DNA sequence: GGGACTTTTTCCAAGGGTCGGATTTTGACC
DNA sequence: GGTCAAAATCCGACCCTTGGAAAAAGTCCC
């Protein structure tokens, strides 16, 4: 338990300031920042000059103030460098290049299979992709300010062990994450920032999406897998072992459908993409909307719903209602002020799922908890996972490198601690 | 969003220090406090002299240090004054008197009925009980340092409106909580600290019970009602509208038993006292363990289980397994490092419920989340709710009065804030 | 074109915090 | 009584925020 020093206050304030510049739609003034953060104009001045000197912020013109000295407008200095965010999923690797303002510049994509699920192989894919992007943009490596990588599976901050989903057997005793981290550090000359997709997209919502105004936020990821990212007081909540948010494997229907995880009745088995497909199939095993792969099925469902096809709407109603009931539990326990639906299933079907879920939640959530919730679809443009993980890398940058990340103080290596 | 100043650091450190003195089993030394809090010896010295001057701490002897200056032992100055904690429940009012070390000195109890559920009536009961205790102990009012009251139902910090369960109709537009608060303030000359029982008992666990070592804690209350108190980073989590933890009304069995709240299949309907009785009755409507009131039934069940009565054990197994499944959901989402079972049902049946719940959780929780959890029965002696609410009053005292409580800054009354 | 005016921004000294290292305190021991 | 060792305190350094004074940077008017 390292206590907080006054330096932490500075770091937090600087960070808060920066985040507000980022999430504002337009360039902002010092006065607005002071009002927004609650800091005195004097402090805002000190912080901004610091960030201006660093090159992270720039003045972009001025604004009339009615007779007095015009207000300077501040914005993120996009040209100061680039950030890379990489999303390693089970079936693909996607890398995005951002300028420092986190505007997407370019991206690359590559399909992978289970045979690639090894640290070395994944690292090679990542390095190749990023190199390709750099070459295309004629960028030199010294422009790179930070790189963040989202890895599937659960990470363990303390031990640094990541569970590459298919590599658990092969790498049980090794340190796959450490190896991966090392390979990337060698290739790019700076430590990558690693996180899982759930947390990454939560950060993206917090910076740029529906969570900007939220204090206590739940970001529901609806993809092939399902989970929830939780933010308490605008900060990502990780849980004791960085494993919070495994809402997808929460029991919803005792003795229900078999889930990918082997258990039965998980939320994921009903509201994840395979769950939606299963619902469709249960209603009619020969439904023409059914395609070989789930992504195509979801697309078919979306376009059918767009045509007001009653069968598609009925399926979405059913799934949405189930989602709502599951969300009601979350709302009752966490009492968030904002719930955001994100990831690719939500992007394509959220238009229909969200209202149905809201109605479904109303049947089981407590009125007071329900009333507190602002329901939203993801407001993030582009790929939330890459963006979030790039934002995390940026955080590390501003805070002073990834070493500033650990949240608990490390266990002393020598047997020094008594009691 | 008021930013944190260095004063907040001081307050937090002082508070952290004090809490550690409280939750330590014996008197502590400055050195131990420094090691425990991570503060420098210099700072610990400043803080302790401050608290010694306040009269909250005292030196109680010294400890040999092997040739050097002996270490002074510090403890809470129990004689410095008294605190009162009151638990207003639906069927009773209980008041406890504590010394400043939060050792119970005396208590009073009174049964109430639905007709008493009015601010004025409840306040009168509270005042009478506390007066009685003060008279018995020949205490003068100036000895009273703080008073905390737990009220059932959900509170709303922002508006100050409390929902007295049966008074919602009569007081819909009024301010029952404000009225109640005023009546108590008049009677005792100091503002009472109000909280609900769920949060109060969570604080008690955090200070004195199973949560002392926890960072991310879930305190499960098993009484007539069921709920969970959540602490993040050793601090009580309240949620957006102070309504977090309504886990009892989470859906567990779709279309299942009807709950007190009118919905079906709530967790509470299975693992709360009425739920346990219902399980017993479902198995055998004429079971001799069934009594007219649920408390007697729970007692009968406990003593039967104590005699290894197989029917009682089977019921407890069933209830425990259900509890475990429900807890698994909590563990998956929150990833706590400690789960504590408390309140009166847990006190009497926890011995059997806890192991069964642990096993039940294993079937549905993710291995990593499960492995992180330390399962415990409440370690609080005495009545956790009164104790917790007295501790909250103490917190207010140390922080500088109940006014320091609000967590969000109040909305400015004048239309002064632009944008 | 230059002063008056207005509003923003910075400067400065005050005030609150923590901390490392020097210093004092407080015992035991010889 | 002097010496020694460990605990506790004191002190100056350093970091942070902030209110108010001062400076900066425009407009406006004569």
Cβ distance B4 to A9 less than 8 Å, yes or no, reads yes
Kindly compute the dihedral angle of the four CA atoms of residues B173, B174, B177, B182, in this order, to the nearest 10 degrees.
170
Nearest nucleotide (C1') to alpha carbon of B46: D9
Rounded Cα distance between B188 and B16, Å, is 28
pLDDT at residue A419 greater than cutoff 50: no
> Who wins on pLDDT, A10 or B415?
A10
Residue A418: pLDDT band with limits 50, 70, 90: very low
Cβ burial, residue B336 (10 Å; 0-12/13-18/19+): buried
Sheet holding A217-222, edge to edge: A235-236, A226-232, A217-222, A338-342, A374-377
The spacing between the Cα labelled CA in A53 and the C1' in C8, in angstroms, equals: 20
User: Are B157 and B406 a contacting pair, CB within 8 Å?
Assistant: yes
Q: State residue B173's pLDDT score.
A: 53
pLDDT at residue B410 greater than cutoff 60: no
A255: left (phi over 0), alpha (psi -120 to 50) or beta: left
Domains and CATH numbers, chain A: 6-79 (1.10.10.10), 81-199+384-400 (3.30.420.40), 212-377 (3.30.420.40)
Closest residue on chain A to B14 (Cα):
A3
Residue B120: pLDDT band with limits 50, 70, 90: confident
Percentage of chain A lying above the pLDDT 90 cut: 68
Q: Are strands B155-156 and B144-150 parallel, antiparallel or unpaired?
A: unpaired
Taking the CA of residue B161 and the nearest CA in chain A, the distance in Å comes to 12
Q: State residue B359's pLDDT score.
A: 96
Q: State residue B211's pLDDT score.
A: 87
Q: State residue A174's pLDDT score.
A: 63
The spacing between the Cα labelled CA in B147 and the C1' in D25, in angstroms, equals: 57
Give B91-157 as a DSSP string.
SEEEEEEEETT--EEEEEEEE--GGG-SHHHHHHHHHHHHHHHHHHTT--GGGEEEEEEE-SS-EET
Count contacts between A and B (CB, < 8 Å): 174
Rg value, chain A, Cα: 23
Rounded Cα distance between B385 and B365, Å, is 29
Nearest nucleotide (C1') to alpha carbon of A62: D26
Report which secondary-structure segment, H or E, holds B237: none
Taking the CA of residue A84 and the nearest CA in chain B, the distance in Å comes to 30
Backbone dihedral angles phi then psi of residue A86, each to the nearest 5 degrees: -120, 135
pLDDT at residue B164 greater than cutoff 60: no
Cβ distance A36 to B1 less than 8 Å, yes or no, reads yes
Kindly compute the dihedral angle of the four CA atoms of residues B261, B267, B268, B270, in this order, to the nearest 10 degrees.
120
Tokens in use for A412? 């002393």
Q: B32 to chain A: which residues are within 8 Å by CB? A: 419
Q: State residue B52's pLDDT score.
A: 93
Q: What is the pLDDT of residues B201-244, one digit of tens each?
A: 999 999 998 888 899 999 999 998 899 999 998 899 999 988 89
- Give yes or no for B16 touching A (CB within 8 A): yes
Q: What is the pLDDT of residues B302-347, one digit of tens each?
A: 999 999 999 999 999 999 999 999 999 999 999 999 999 999 999 9
Residue B166: pLDDT band with limits 50, 70, 90: very low
Rounded Cα distance between B92 and B86, Å, is 11
Closest residue on chain A to B326 (Cα):
A251
Nearest CA among A63, A57, A59, A12 for reference residue A38: A12
Rounded Cα distance between A210 and A208, Å, is 7
Cβ-proximal residues to A232 (8 Å cutoff; 6+ apart), any chain: A215, A216, B232, B237
Taking the CA of residue B241 and the nearest CA in chain A, the distance in Å comes to 7
Average pLDDT, chain B: 87
Length of chain A counted residue by residue:
419
CB atoms under 10 Å from CB of B362, counted, come to 12
Q: What is the pLDDT of residues A213-251, one digit of tens each?
A: 899 999 999 998 899 999 999 899 999 988 899 999 999
A:330-349 residues touching chain B, CB 8 A cutoff = 330, 332-337
Nearest CA among B137, B103, B306, B81 for reference residue B208: B103
**Angle, in degrees to the nearest 10, between helices A273-283 and A344-364:** 70
- Give yes or no for B31 touching A (CB within 8 A): no
A:347-406 residues touching chain B, CB 8 A cutoff = 363-364, 366, 368-369, 371-372
Residue written as tokens 């062990």? A161
The spacing between the Cα labelled CA in A6 and the C1' in D14, in angstroms, equals: 11
pLDDT at residue A342 greater than cutoff 60: yes
Give A12-70 as a DSSP string.
HHHHHHHHHHHHSSS-EEHHHHHHHH---HHHHHHHHHHHHHHTSEEEEEEE--SSSPP
Cross-chain CB nearest to B336 (options A13, A240, A371): A240
Percentage of chain A lying above the pLDDT 70 cut: 89
Percentage of chain B lying above the pLDDT 70 cut: 89
User: Are B59 and B73 a contacting pair, CB within 8 Å?
Assistant: yes
Closest residue on chain B to A325 (Cα):
B251
Q: Are strands B92-99 and B82-88 parallel, antiparallel or unpaired?
A: antiparallel
B221 pairs with which residues across the strands?
B227, B342
Residue B169: pLDDT band with limits 50, 70, 90: very low
Cross-chain CB nearest to B247 (options A9, A249, A333): A333
Rounded Cα distance between B356 and B350, Å, is 10
Cβ distance A366 to B249 less than 8 Å, yes or no, reads yes
Nearest CA among A365, A390, A389 for reference residue A375: A365
pLDDT at residue A268 greater than cutoff 70: yes
The spacing between the Cα labelled CA in A69 and the C1' in D22, in angstroms, equals: 15
CB atoms under 10 Å from CB of B169, counted, come to 6
Length of chain B counted residue by residue:
419
Window 40-79 of chain A: CB closer than 7 A to strand C = 41-42, 45, 48-49, 65-72
Cβ burial, residue A21 (10 Å; 0-12/13-18/19+): buried
pLDDT at residue B124 greater than cutoff 60: yes
CB atoms under 10 Å from CB of B242, counted, come to 19
Residue A173: pLDDT band with limits 50, 70, 90: low
- Give yes or no for A6 touching B (CB within 8 A): yes
Tokens in use for A137? 């943009």
Q: What is the pLDDT of residues B14-42, one digit of tens each?
A: 999 999 999 898 899 999 999 999 999 99
B:36-65 residues touching chain A, CB 8 A cutoff = 36-39
Residue A17: pLDDT band with limits 50, 70, 90: very high
Cβ distance B334 to A239 less than 8 Å, yes or no, reads yes
The answer to whether strand C lies under 7 Å from the CB of residue B61 is no
Nearest nucleotide (C1') to alpha carbon of B12: C17
Residue B170: pLDDT band with limits 50, 70, 90: very low
pLDDT at residue B86 greater than cutoff 60: yes
pLDDT at residue B402 greater than cutoff 70: no
Report which secondary-structure segment, H or E, holds B186: helix B176-188
Cβ-proximal residues to A253 (8 Å cutoff; 6+ apart), any chain: A264, A265, A270, B254
Q: State residue A411's pLDDT score.
A: 29
Q: A6 to chain B: which residues are within 8 Å by CB? A: 6, 9
Residue B113: pLDDT band with limits 50, 70, 90: confident
Strand D positions closer than 7 A to protein CB: 4-11, 15-20, 23-28
Neighbouring C-alpha atoms within 13 Å toward the C-beta of B362:
9
Residue B174: pLDDT band with limits 50, 70, 90: low
> Who wins on pLDDT, B234 or A90?
B234
Cross-chain CB nearest to B335 (options A4, A244, A328): A244
Nearest CA among B99, B335, B394, B329 for reference residue B216: B335
Cβ distance B333 to A244 less than 8 Å, yes or no, reads yes
Nearest nucleotide (C1') to alpha carbon of B43: C18
Give A232-297 as a DSSP string.
ETTEE---TTS-TT-GGGSB-STT-PBPTTS-BSBTHHHHSHHHHHHHHHHH-TT-TT--SSHHHH
Q: What is the pLDDT of residues A33-78, one digit of tens each?
A: 999 999 999 999 999 999 999 889 999 999 888 888 999 999 999 9
């Amino acid at each position: 338990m390292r206590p907080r020093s006054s330096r932490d206050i500075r770091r937090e304030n600087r960070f808060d300031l920066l985040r507000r510049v980022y999430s504002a739609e337009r360039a902002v003034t010092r006065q607005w920042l002071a009002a927004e953060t609650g800091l005195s104009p004097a402090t805002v001045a000190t912080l901004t000059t610091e960030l201006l000197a660093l090159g992270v912020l720039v003045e972009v013109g001025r604004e009339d103030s009615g007779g007095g000295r015009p207000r300077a407008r501040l914005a993120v200095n996009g040209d100061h460098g680039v950030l890379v965010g990489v999303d390693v999923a089970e079936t693909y690797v996607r890398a995005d290049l951002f300028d420092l303002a986190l505007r997407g510049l370019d991206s690359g994509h590559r399909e992978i299979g289970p045979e690639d699920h090894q640290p070395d192989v994944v690292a090679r894919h990542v390095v190749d992709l990023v190199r390709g992007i750099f070459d295309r943009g004629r960028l030199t490596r010294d422009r790179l300010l930070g790189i963040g990588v989202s890895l599937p599976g659960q990470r363990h901050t303390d031990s640094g062990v990541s569970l590459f989903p298919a590599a658990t057997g092969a790498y049980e005793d090794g340190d796959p994450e450490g190896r991966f981290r090392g390979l990337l550090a060698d290739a790019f000359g700076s430590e990558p920032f690693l996180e899982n997709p759930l947390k990454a997209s939560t950060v993206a919502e917090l910076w740029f999406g529906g969570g900007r105004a939220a204090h206590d936020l739940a970001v529901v990821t609806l993809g092939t897998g399902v989970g929830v990212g939780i933010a308490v007081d605008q900060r990502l909540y990780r849980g004791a072992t960085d494993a919070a948010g495994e809402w997808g494997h929460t029991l919803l229907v005792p003795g229900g459908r078999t889930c990918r995880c082997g258990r039965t009745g998980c939320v994921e088995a009903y509201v994840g993409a395979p769950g939606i497909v299963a619902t469709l199939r249960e209603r009619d095993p020969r439904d023409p909307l059914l395609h070989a792969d789930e992504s195509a099925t979801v697309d078919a469902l979306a376009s059918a719903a767009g045509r007001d096809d009653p069968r598609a709407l009925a399926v979405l109603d059913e799934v949405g209602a189930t989602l709502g009931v599951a969300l009601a539990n979350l709302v009752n326990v966490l009492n968030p002020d904002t719930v955001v639906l994100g990831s690719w299933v939500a992007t394509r079907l959220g238009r229909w799922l969200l209202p149905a879920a809201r109605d479904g939640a109303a049947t089981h959530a407590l009125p007071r908890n329900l009333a507190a919730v602002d329901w939203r679809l993801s407001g993030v443009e582009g790929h939330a996972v890459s963006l979030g993980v790039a934002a995390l890398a940026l955080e590390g940058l501003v805070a002073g490198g990834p070493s500033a990340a650990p949240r608990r103080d490390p266990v002393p290596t020598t047997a020094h601690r008594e009691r």
